[in-house]
Amino acid sequence: MVEVTEEVQKAEEYKAQANKNFKDKHYAAAVVGYTQAIELRPDYAIYWANRAAAHIRLEEYGSAIADATQAIEADPDYIKGYYRRGDANFALGKFKDAIKDLRTAAKRAPRDPDLRHKLSECEKAVKRIRFEEALATPESEITHVSDTIDLESMAVEESYSGPRMQEDGEGGYALTRDFVVAMMEEFKAQRLIHKRFAFQILLEARKLLRDLPSLVDIPVAPEGHITVCGDVHGQYYDLLNIFDLNGLPSADNPYLFNGDFVDRGSFSVEVIFTLLAWKVLEPSCIHLSRGNHESHSMNKMYGFDGEVKAKYSGLMLDVFREVFNWLPLAFVISDKVLVLHGGLFSRDDVSLDDLRKVHRNQEPPEDGLMCECLWSDPAPQPGRQLSKRGVGLQFGPDVTKAFLEKNGLELVVRSHEVKEEGYEVAHDGRLITVFSAPNYCDQMGNKGAFVRFNGADMVPHFTTFEAVPHPDVKPMAYASSFLNYMM
């Protein structure tokens, strides 16, 4: 029996308020409340496990694992400690670690149906990985799927009533602005384009991207401008709203979309085809950087894999993977602004030339410059810390300042994190986070934002916007059922 001291009573009050914030989907506020409770009762497992759950909702899986571990240390019989740690490890793709905790939890609660389902999904994932490893082909012997696609064999049937590319007189087709605009309307009406045209967009995009360096320089004339958008995450109708607010892409109205085009939202196919089609139509009108979700492991769990197979085919998914591997990792705008999806690096000596030379035609590694480009996050405190996500690192304002000074830059723009107002200025004005998926996953209540830079001064100008209605297809509709049990 715990003595109800003033300290215990206050901790329970903090927990009750944090629980309310969690229920109302204010997860960052919930973390604060659970932290206050933990400070008063650090040996109470429930507070640690509850904070782990809030970190999971914020996609801070590294912090969730640390908190769940503390819960287990405080009470080795507390089932939710193992449950939460298993959830976080699964979300990071660490299926073998997840299985250990879920099996331990299952022994303590053998009749819990959610737990049995999660354990089954985790075991399937491990079997799938072992199967893929057994079939793995040495890199020197790999045949690229894109090189085997025969567009001419894909006849466009007379019965197909959707938008058609312009015939080129030689049995082929050419992409036009009219087609891209009609395609966007087709997607808006929840219809797809013919696979012949879809594959052509992919193959032409791959060819364009393959010729780019890993860091791309974008000049902006003094009288010109460029708009930088953050994560879109399959929220196609919010992407259309961005174009309504800021105009369609063109050579005079260019965009840079900063990664995480797909996953989570259930219209990722529509988003990525729209962005790639504009890129193919006029390469200077849109620039696309790679996010951590343009990867095989993330797509298998968070929905893009299942969505492409449902709407087209597994063959198309293989081509998407090859396209994603050629997306640049970073951009420098007008020699002043570095744009990349995640953040900065574990080393002080990283130069822009180092980024240009990164070998990117691969799935993201677990460490190194490419990993940090895609996964790192800023932190308010100086120095470098372990990542709250469990991948990459956290870097402080001193790291940002030193990197900018070393490379003659003025500003870092990154994405990768939900922000309530759609953007956040940090690190003494030297770092901006921009996130363009409002009401993320239909539950976060955040605004979206984009940033416009005028070439004359490269000062950031922010536009925020609310989510718009979309058809009744829930986020994560194509994701791993394990993750839907976590939502």
CATH at residue 117: 1.25.40.10
| pLDDT (average), residues 131-140 | 63
- Is the predicted pLDDT of residue 387 greater than 60, yes or no? yes
**Looking at this protein, which amino acid is placed at residue 404?**
L
| Cβ neighbours, 10 Å, residue 381 | 11
Alpha helices in 75-176 (DSSP H): 79-91, 95-108, 113-135
pLDDT at 487 over 60: no
Integer Cα distance of 289 and 256 in angstroms: 8
Give the global pTM. 0.90
Kindly state whether residues 117 and 239 are assigned to the same domain.
Answer: no
pLDDT value at residue 93: 85
Query: What value does the mean pLDDT take over residues 91-95?
Result: 87
Is 252 inside any structural domain?
yes
pLDDT at 76: 94
At 139 the pLDDT is 56
* 199 and 327 both lie in a single domain: yes
Mean pLDDT across the chain: 94
Q: Please report where in the chains the tokens 């000062």 appear, as a residue.
A: 459
Contact by Cβ (8 Å): 424, 435: no
Domain of 341, in residue numbers: 166-486
Catalytic residues: 293
Whether residue 101 is found in the same domain as residue 219: no
Q: Rounded to whole angstroms, how far apart are CA atoms 459 and 36? A: 39
Query: What count of other Cβ atoms lies within 10 Å of the Cβ of residue 410?
Result: 15
Structure tokens at 98: 């997840």
Mark whether 308 and 436 lie in a shared domain: yes
Per-residue pLDDT for 37 more than 70? yes
Residue 226 within any structural domain of the chain: yes
142 domain residue, yes or no? no
101 lies in the same domain as 197:
no
pLDDT over 90 (residue 53): yes
Q: What confidence score (pLDDT) does residue 151 get?
A: 94
Residue 156 in any domain: the answer is no
Question: If pLDDT is split at 50, 70 and 90, which confidence band does 112 have?
Answer: confident
Give how many domains the chain has, as a whole number: 2
Band of residue 163 on the pLDDT scale cut at 50, 70, 90: very high
Q: How confident is the model at residue 109 (pLDDT cuts 50, 70, 90)?
A: confident
Give the pair of three-digit tokens for residue 247: 């105009």
The Cα-based distances of 477 to 46, 263, 265, 482 in angstroms read 31, 10, 8, 12
Measure the CA–CA gap between 184 and 270, rounded to whole angstroms.
Answer: 8
| Residue reference for tokens 């009470």 | 75
**Cβ–Cβ contacts within 10 Å for residue 78, how many?**
21
Q: Which residues pair with 255 in a beta bridge?
A: 227, 286
Instruction: Determine, yes or no, domain membership for 311.
Output: yes
Check residues 481 and 447 and name the one with the higher pLDDT.
Answer: 447
Q: For 56-60, 63-67, 236-240, 340-344, which range has the lowest pLDDT when averaged over its residues?
A: 56-60
User: Across residues 384-391, what is the average pLDDT?
Assistant: 94
Q: What is the model's pLDDT at position 114?
A: 82
Distance CA 118, CA 480 (A): 10
> Does 412 fall in a domain?
yes
Region of poorest pLDDT, from 122-126, 134-138, 402-406: 134-138
Higher pLDDT, 126 or 272: 272
Give the mean model confidence (pLDDT) for residues 401-415: 98
Q: Which two tokens stand for residue 163?
A: 């938008």
For CA atoms 92, 97, 99, 105, the dihedral sign is negative
If asked whether residues 203 and 316 sit together in one domain, one would say yes
Cα three-residue angle 40-42-48, rounded to 5 degrees: 110
